[in-house]
Amino acid sequence: MKARSYKTILEISFFLSFLSIFLIFGLHGYNSTSANEQKEHGVYKMKLPPKSLDQYYEKEPSGYLMAMFGILGPMGGMGTHLKDGNMDRAKVYFTAFKEEYLKLSKMVPEWSKHFPSEPLDNLEKALESGDPKKIGPAMAGVGKTCANCHQEHRPGVWYKYHWKDFDKITIADPVSGKSLSWEDYMYGLENSFFATNTYLSEEKAEGKFDKTKAALNNFQKMVEGLNEGCKECHGKDDKRKYYTSSDVLNLLSKVADELNETQPDVENVSKTLNRAGIESCYKCHLVHIPAANIHRAWGEEEK
């Protein structure tokens, strides 16, 4: 499928689904039974998706994802025509919705329980009655069924199929010249960052920062070298716009320039260095560490 049509499907599907369910029928703050069943003292259980789903993610775009988009269109169509008062057209879209619903219910056997017939039957009866007071709650009931399944399984699907396993990525270390695992490369970054801060604190009394400069140089090289690891997921030709981008490298260059001054401003050096740590290390970890931890936990589970 071409990128343009794929984007169009995304835009239309999400617009219609949100319009029909959330705006028209006011499905606000659903009370998810499925979600509540998962909680034990505030703990959310992210489940490893069943292997039967793997077949739909062997190529892009995912067959299962496209089936999901296929059901969103009819759902939005129902909402659109109910709002216009065109019951006949709404029923046509319901028929298409029902067909897609039943098709989806068979794609992943382990998830068949998330496609109960009762909400679908209730909506069909409500549409036949033509009574808006019955149709609204019935639409909300179907929407809640979808939301419950998404609450329970969608995060796990995203983490399994859209995030690569960091343990399978290796990076050439520009300092040692060795090929390191992702974890060992992270340790190298961490050690060089801490060494820079440590030596900066220890050498400021003497006013000579030889060890600080050496540690900083290693850290700079490793931050820049990290781009090669990023390409394993983000593409060979993709230049990172954050975490290891020019603005972060410029901060480190400022630190290096300051250390080369006759009398470096140690406080300013420390602030700039730690700002680079926040902009690069910390913000990258906020996005990527949850996925890495989940993959590792699932790896242990599958052993």
290 burial via Cβ count (<10 Å: 0-12, 13-18, 19+)? middle
C-alpha angle with apex 251: 247 to 254, nearest 5 degrees? 135
pLDDT on residue 236: 81
Instruction: From 110, 132, 162, give the residue that closes a domain.
Output: 162
pLDDT on residue 20: 42
Both 224 and 147 in one domain: the answer is no
pTM over 0.75? The answer is: yes
Both 184 and 121 in one domain: the answer is no
For 234, the domain range is: 166-302
Instruction: From 162, 194, 229, give the residue that closes a domain.
Output: 162
Both 140 and 191 in one domain: the answer is no
Both 192 and 267 in one domain: the answer is yes
CA distances from residue 116 to 36, 196, 210 in whole angstroms, order as listed = 18, 59, 69
* Total domains, the chain: 2
Both 112 and 29 in one domain: the answer is yes
Both 11 and 108 in one domain: the answer is yes
The CA distance from 192 to 201, in Å, is: 14
DSSP, collapsed to helix, strand or coil, labels residue 172 as strand
Both 155 and 227 in one domain: the answer is no
pLDDT tens for the chain, 303 residues long, are 333 343 333 333 443 444 444 333 433 434 444 444 555 667 888 889 999 999 999 998 999 999 999 999 999 999 999 999 999 999 999 999 999 999 999 999 999 999 999 999 999 999 999 999 999 999 999 999 999 999 999 999 999 999 999 999 999 999 999 999 999 999 999 999 999 999 999 999 999 999 999 999 999 999 999 989 999 998 887 677 789 999 999 999 999 999 999 999 999 999 999 999 999 999 999 999 999 999 999 987 665
Residues 126 and 134 sit within 8 Å (Cβ to Cβ): yes
Both 158 and 170 in one domain: the answer is no
Residues 45 and 38 sit within 8 Å (Cβ to Cβ): yes
